[in-house]
Structure 1
Amino acid sequence: MTKTRKDFRRKFIGNHRLSPESQMMGYGYDPMLSEGALKPPVFMTSTFVFESAKAGKDFFELAYGKRQAAEGEEPGLIYSRINNPDLEVLEDRLALWEDAEKGLTFSSGMAAISTCLWAYLRPGDVIVHSAPVYGGTEYLIRNILPAFGIQSVEFEAGGDEATLAPAIEQAKKLGRVAVIYTETPANPTNDLVDLHMCRDLADKLGEEQGHRPVVMTDNTFLGPLWQKPLSHGADIVIYSLTKYVAGHSDVVAGGAVGAADVMAPVAGFRTILGTMCDPHTGWLIMRSLETLKIRMTESANNARKIAEYLRDHPKVSKVHYLGFLEESDPCYSIFQEQCGGAAGSTFAFDVDGDEAAAFRVLDNLSIIKLAVSLGGTESLMEHPFAMTHSDVPDDVKNRLGITESMLRISVGIENVDDLIADLSQALDSI
């Protein structure tokens, strides 16, 4: 009997369901199809040879939706803009972490975000989005989408329905609400958004306007290990794979997962826009997926110790760390249910003083690198007001708590005592 790729997508041993960290070692790949190579080769090819003209016709009909797949039929390889063996295995494995039906990978996190939005937004539509969000996402929504007739209404993250419900009402007056876009935890404040609430309001909107908005969530800060938004109300979960998933600060990529029918329009737009991930990058990310749980766990353990140190430091006025949420905070119950109580390893803190004081801390770092991005094996720090969120209007940043005294740290897997020593001497500069 000829084996297909389905034979190498085993999720159970008897009645025992395999965990994602085990499945990362071989799911979706048969070494015997690649000369017995333990790891998938890098398929650096632009095009693939068809066995016959009929096979080529069948592949294209399925790829472009001209017919439905027969039972057991899978898309054939055509061209690396459409599909590629490395990306197919990677996308299968990425989907496992959230038990999603379909995963897609992109050339960057912003490519993932923009492709998902283009797939579901049309001129005259309105996007309702949480704030703050990553600076690139903010720029896309605030400055680029309006040129295509798409308006936006923001609501502040923080777990309070009083901010989302009025935003929905305002958006309904402007046009068809097509997308509810969230980033939770928010970059850089770590404020949370209740995804159950987003789902419920999307369902209600669907009944009112005859079109249910798609709930999209940027899960870069905690996912896919510590938070699984699909199980809490999101329709599409988006990642900057550059960050924790790739985790070595050596690739740029993005990802999105969701139900097959929800992801189908995104896949179509990716093919035409050409925003797919390249095979070599995909291969590197597959390598990184094998150590994802180990890396994220170690960096989270380090982050807790550093957050506790900063909380007690006389020159630090506030630490925006999820593990410090109090029960009276609207985000506390969201954190417990939605994040499982996992605080992650990227957070911000406010130093006493102004931009000059914050810059002195950054300029005096030794082990911790002064750089943007996050989720790598090394620790990084940056100044959100002047760097990652530079494009966001100053009044908006101040309203959202992104001040000139705020620093963001992504904690890596170095020795935590060394990191604390570095922070201590840097804070002495204030």
Structure 2
Amino acid sequence: MGKERGLDGPMGNQPLHAETLMLGYGYDPHLSEGAVKPPVFLTSTFVFRSAEEGKDYFDVVSGRQPAPPGGAGLVYSRFNHPNAEIVEDRLAVFEGAEASLVFGAGMAAIATVILTYARPGDAILHSQPLYGGTETLLMRTFAAYGIQAQGFPDGLSEQAVGRAAEAAMARGRVSVIMVETPSNPTNSLVDLALLRRVADRIGQAQGHRPLVVCDNTMLGPLFQKPLALGADLSVYSLTKYVGGHSDLVGGAVTGARAHVQPVRLLRSAIGTQLDPHSCWMVGRSLETLSLRMREASRNAEAVAAFLAGHPRVARVHALGFLPQGSEARRVYEAQCTGPGSTFSLEIKGGQAEAFRMLNALRIFKLAVSLGGTESLASHPASTTHSGVPAEIRERLEVTDGLVRLSIGIEHHEDLIADLAQALDAIGT
């Protein structure tokens, strides 16, 4: 029998691109009756060929033994299953990581990482704003367990981050630095190289370097790769761009094996694994991820340009419109290869004017979430960030007049026409 075809290596001297590898990497059709696409493995448990094999597999999934070359065997779908392993392999390739894990939601990924590395009495240093769910998790849930959070609103200033680091160390051992860049919903940036320097200084001061965790949902894995910029772990809501069709909920963590393995063991213990069908859907979506993100980004640039010149719009928080020569522009050009397609705009007036504009939209759907094929619009201050104290929202520019747009793959001229008539409706 000739050598089996596959996508697990280079093509001669040509390393294969992620876009190509998403179509077949990590899957052997001959193990699944020749099916060109992976089937959905709807099973809770897997058969061992011998008692000895069962013992060996359990030693691996429990962390007592390292995985052998080629990976560990399958035991139980809370630990691992084929659909998860295929998607994890492909996510790691796209991110340029050694390992990846999938979870039942983006918040499950973030919570499992923090539970792995933080202990009562510790402090978490974090950027602001964060996704509203992450803010609530840090300020309320983990605070109730004795894990304190110390935020910094300016992720571009080494002085500001340094002051926040000192305040965090005064509250306890800093075990995790949690950042989101660009942030949701204002697209503020965090300098990841700066954060790594601060993490190293904290490590020297307290004898333990905190783990740098970056929420890469807004741009990754196509337009930003945090692991190459100094982050230890990159986390995702797969619900957003990776899933990309607003029909699944999932999360992921990527990073070095040494950082990912403890998270894997806790995921197995508390059951935050992603189910086979959702994994299959993520695998489907990875095949078109680059196409979708690039098209949506082109649309967003056209829409943002229209809004930036509209008299009813006070400001557009879009990465492509960062002032030349600014520190934010420097960091954007150093960290990102594209602006993405989610941004916010400040409507002149306040909540009443923002609501009139939102209620007049016809193509845009009023819904939270982002990164789908369809365009969405939302009001962060009254929805996703309503749990954040008003004074913090105001400081972070999450105002009552702020509207977030997630631009999809419709024709950009139609989206502009919809926004034009909705903005006109503010005055009627």
Query: TM-score, structure 1 length as denominator?
Result: 0.97
2:356 to 360, 375, 380: 360
> What are the Cα deviations for residues 85-110 of structure 1, in whole angstroms up to 9, with x where unaligned?
00000000011112100010000111
Q: Secondary structure at the match of 2:346?
A: strand
TM-superposed deviation, 1:158: 4.4
Matched, 1:415 2:416: no
1:227 to 224, 239, 243: 224
TM-superposed deviation, 1:328: 3.5
Matched, 1:403 2:399: yes
1:93 paired residue number: 90
Q: Report if the CA contact (8 A) 1:156-1:400 is conserved.
A: yes
CA distance in 2, matches of 1:3, 1:357: 65
AA paired with 1:59?
Answer: Y
2:365 paired residue number: 369
TM-superposed deviation, 1:173: 1.1
Q: Report if the CA contact (8 A) 2:155-2:161 is conserved.
A: no
2:8 paired residue number: 10
CA distance in 1, matches of 2:336, 2:154: 15
AA paired with 1:350?
Answer: E
What RMSD, in angstroms, separates the aligned Cα atoms of the two structures?
Answer: 1.5
2:422 paired residue number: 426
1:336 paired residue number: 333
2:182 paired residue number: 185
> What are the Cα deviations for residues 73-131 of structure 1, in whole angstroms up to 9, with x where unaligned?
52110000000000000000011112100010000111111111111000110000000
- Equivalences for 1:119-138 in 2 at 5 Å? 119-138=116-135
Q: Report if the CA contact (8 A) 1:247-1:288 is conserved.
A: yes
1:29 to 23, 27, 30: 27
Q: Secondary structure at the match of 2:174?
A: strand
2:140 paired residue number: 143
2:259 paired residue number: 262
TM-superposed deviation, 1:157: 3.6
TM-superposed deviation, 1:63: 1.2
Q: Report if the CA contact (8 A) 2:9-2:16 is conserved.
A: yes
AA paired with 2:312?
Answer: K
CA distance in 2, matches of 1:245, 1:258: 17
AA paired with 1:10?
Answer: D
2:64 paired residue number: 66
TM-superposed deviation, 1:361: 0.5
AA paired with 1:397?
Answer: R
CA distance in 2, matches of 1:9, 1:200: 38
AA paired with 1:179?
Answer: V
TM-superposed deviation, 1:343: 0.8
Query: TM-score, structure 2 length as denominator?
Result: 0.97
> What are the Cα deviations for residues 35-68 of structure 1, in whole angstroms up to 9, with x where unaligned?
0000000001000000000000000011112223
CA distance in 1, matches of 2:81, 2:131: 30
2:233 paired residue number: 236
CA distance in 2, matches of 1:138, 1:282: 27
The change in CA–CA distance for 1:382 and 1:76 in structure 2 (over 3 A counts) is same
CA distance in 2, matches of 1:288, 1:227: 18
Q: Secondary structure at the match of 1:190?
A: coil
Q: Secondary structure at the match of 2:214?
A: strand
- Where in structure 1 do 4 or more consecutive aligned residues deviate above 2 Å? 1-4, 67-70
TM-superposed deviation, 1:327: 2.7
Q: Report if the CA contact (8 A) 1:158-1:331 is conserved.
A: no
Q: Secondary structure at the match of 1:234?
A: coil
> What are the Cα deviations for residues 170-220 of structure 1, in whole angstroms up to 9, with x where unaligned?
111111110010000011010000001111111222222111100000001
- Equivalences for 1:296-315 in 2 at 5 Å? 296-315=293-312
2:42 to 41, 44, 56: 44
CA distance in 1, matches of 2:242, 2:67: 31
2:99 paired residue number: 102
Percent identity over paired residues: 53
Q: Report if the CA contact (8 A) 2:98-2:257 is conserved.
A: yes
Q: Report if the CA contact (8 A) 1:300-1:343 is conserved.
A: yes
Q: Report if the CA contact (8 A) 1:132-1:157 is conserved.
A: no
The change in CA–CA distance for 1:2 and 1:183 in structure 2 (over 3 A counts) is farther
TM-superposed deviation, 1:29: 0.5
The change in CA–CA distance for 1:296 and 1:73 in structure 2 (over 3 A counts) is closer
Q: Secondary structure at the match of 1:429?
A: helix
- Equivalences for 1:70-89 in 2 at 5 Å? 70=68, 72=69, 74-89=71-86
Q: Secondary structure at the match of 1:385?
A: helix
> What are the Cα deviations for residues 325-364 of structure 1, in whole angstroms up to 9, with x where unaligned?
1134221111001003x11100000011110000001101
1:324 paired residue number: 321
Q: Report if the CA contact (8 A) 1:109-1:254 is conserved.
A: yes
Q: How many residues align?
A: 426
CA distance in 2, matches of 1:234, 1:331: 19
1:195 paired residue number: 192
1:113 paired residue number: 110
TM-superposed deviation, 1:371: 0.5
AA paired with 2:356?
Answer: R
Q: Report if the CA contact (8 A) 1:158-1:330 is conserved.
A: no
AA paired with 1:297?
Answer: R
- Equivalences for 1:208-227 in 2 at 5 Å? 208-227=205-224
Gaps of 5+ in 1: none
TM-superposed deviation, 1:9: 5.9
CA distance in 1, matches of 2:141, 2:366: 29
Matched, 1:163 2:160: yes
Matched, 1:204 2:201: yes
